[in-house]
Structure 1
Amino acid sequence: MSFQQGLSGLNAASSSLDVIGNNISNSSTVGFKSGSANFSDIYAASLGIVSGAKIGIGVGIGAVQQQFTQGNLTTTNNPLDLALNGGGFFRLSDEGAISYTRNGQFHIDNDGYVINDQRARLTGYPVAANGAITPSNPIELQISAGQIAPRASSDPLAGELRAVLNLDSRDSAPAISPFDYSDPETYNFSTALTVFDTLGVVHNMTTFYVLNGPTAPGQWTVHATLDGADPKVVEGGNLIFNTSGALDPASALRDLPSWSLTTGAVSPWSPGKMDFTGTTQYGSGSNVDRLTQGGFTSGSLVGVGVNADGTVQGRYSNGQTRNMGQVVLASFADPNGLLSLGNNQWSLTSLSGPELIGAPASGSRGVIQSAAVEDSNVDLTKQLVDMITAQRNYQANAQTIKTQDQIMQTLVNLR
Structure 2
Amino acid sequence: MLRSMYAGISGMKNFQTKLDVIGNNIANVNTSGYKKATVSFQDLMSQTTTGAQGATDARGGINASQVGLGSKLGTISNIHTQGFQQTTNNPLDLAIEGDGMFVVEADGATYYTRSGNFYLDDEGSVVNANGLYLQGLQGNITIPANAQSFSIQTDGIVNYINPDGTTEEAGQIGLASFSNPAGLQKDGSNLYLDSPNAGLVPGLVTPEADGAASIVSGSLEMSNVDLAEEFTEMITAQRAFQANTRIITTSDEILQELVNLKR
Residues 351 and 411 of structure 1: is their aligned pair in 2 closer, same or farther, counting only changes over 3 Å?
A: same
**Distance apart, 1:355 and its partner CA:** 3.7
What SS does the corresponding residue of 1:21 show, helix, strand or coil?
A: helix
Residues 309 and 6 of structure 1: is their aligned pair in 2 closer, same or farther, counting only changes over 3 Å?
A: same
Contact conserved, 1:87 with 1:364, CA < 8 A, in 2?
Answer: no
Residues 324-377 of structure 1: CA deviation (Å, up to 9, x unaligned): 101010011211111110111111111112344211123453110001100100
Match of 1:24 in 2: 26
Contact conserved, 2:95 with 2:215, CA < 8 A, in 1?
Answer: yes
Match of 1:97 in 2: 109
Bigger helix share: 2
**Distance apart, 1:65 and its partner CA:** 0.6
Aligned equivalents of 1:47, 1:345: Cα separation in 2: 49
What SS does the corresponding residue of 1:83 show, helix, strand or coil?
A: strand
Q: Kindly provide the amino acid, as one letter, of the partner of residue 24 in structure 1.
A: I
Aligned equivalents of 1:303, 1:355: Cα separation in 2: 34
Aligned equivalents of 2:150, 2:64: Cα separation in 1: 68
Contact conserved, 1:348 with 1:355, CA < 8 A, in 2?
Answer: no
> How does 1:110-259 map onto structure 2 within 5 Å?
110-126=122-138, 139-145=139-145
Worse-matched range after superposition: 29-38 or 40-49: 40-49
Match of 2:77 in 1: 65
Aligned equivalents of 1:362, 1:19: Cα separation in 2: 36
TM-score with structure 1 length normalisation? 0.58
What SS does the corresponding residue of 1:358 show, helix, strand or coil?
A: coil
Which residue, out of 138, 144, 148, partners 1:302? Answer: 148
TM-score with structure 2 length normalisation? 0.90
**Distance apart, 1:318 and its partner CA:** 3.7
Aligned equivalents of 1:327, 1:28: Cα separation in 2: 25
What are structure 2's unaligned runs of at least 5 residues?
A: 53-62
Residues 85 and 41 of structure 1: is their aligned pair in 2 closer, same or farther, counting only changes over 3 Å?
A: same
Match of 1:37 in 2: 39
Aligned equivalents of 1:45, 1:409: Cα separation in 2: 25
CA RMSD for the aligned pairs? 1.7
- Number of aligned residues: 249
What are structure 1's unaligned runs of at least 5 residues?
A: 127-138, 146-299
Residues 75-97 of structure 1: CA deviation (Å, up to 9, x unaligned): 11321110111100000101120
Match of 1:248 in 2: none
Aligned equivalents of 2:51, 2:165: Cα separation in 1: 82
Aligned equivalents of 1:344, 1:355: Cα separation in 2: 21
Residues 394 and 306 of structure 1: is their aligned pair in 2 closer, same or farther, counting only changes over 3 Å?
A: same
Residues 295-319 of structure 1: CA deviation (Å, up to 9, x unaligned): xxxxx51112110000011123443
What SS does the corresponding residue of 2:161 show, helix, strand or coil?
A: strand
Aligned equivalents of 1:413, 1:365: Cα separation in 2: 71
Q: Kindly provide the amino acid, as one letter, of the partner of residue 30 in structure 1.
A: S
Aligned equivalents of 1:317, 1:349: Cα separation in 2: 45
Residues 411 and 302 of structure 1: is their aligned pair in 2 closer, same or farther, counting only changes over 3 Å?
A: same
Worse-matched range after superposition: 340-349 or 352-361: 352-361
Contact conserved, 2:159 with 2:168, CA < 8 A, in 1?
Answer: yes
What SS does the corresponding residue of 2:250 show, helix, strand or coil?
A: helix
Aligned equivalents of 2:27, 2:115: Cα separation in 1: 16
Contact conserved, 2:96 with 2:221, CA < 8 A, in 1?
Answer: yes
Aligned equivalents of 2:236, 2:108: Cα separation in 1: 44
Which residue, out of 90, 101, 110, partners 1:78? Answer: 90
Contact conserved, 2:47 with 2:68, CA < 8 A, in 1?
Answer: no
Aligned equivalents of 2:227, 2:130: Cα separation in 1: 27
Worse-matched range after superposition: 64-73 or 331-340: 331-340
**Distance apart, 1:320 and its partner CA:** 2.6
Aligned equivalents of 1:364, 1:100: Cα separation in 2: 20
Q: Are residues 1:370 and 2:227 paired? A: no
Worse-matched range after superposition: 300-309 or 101-110: 300-309
Match of 1:403 in 2: 250
Aligned equivalents of 2:128, 2:136: Cα separation in 1: 14
Aligned equivalents of 2:257, 2:8: Cα separation in 1: 19
What SS does the corresponding residue of 1:369 show, helix, strand or coil?
A: strand
Residues 74-119 of structure 1: CA deviation (Å, up to 9, x unaligned): 1113211101111000001011200100000000111221110111
Aligned equivalents of 1:45, 1:319: Cα separation in 2: 79
Q: Are residues 1:88 and 2:100 paired? A: yes
Residues 413 and 372 of structure 1: is their aligned pair in 2 closer, same or farther, counting only changes over 3 Å?
A: same
Contact conserved, 1:31 with 1:344, CA < 8 A, in 2?
Answer: yes
What SS does the corresponding residue of 1:54 show, helix, strand or coil?
A: strand
Match of 2:227 in 1: 380
Aligned equivalents of 2:101, 2:169: Cα separation in 1: 22
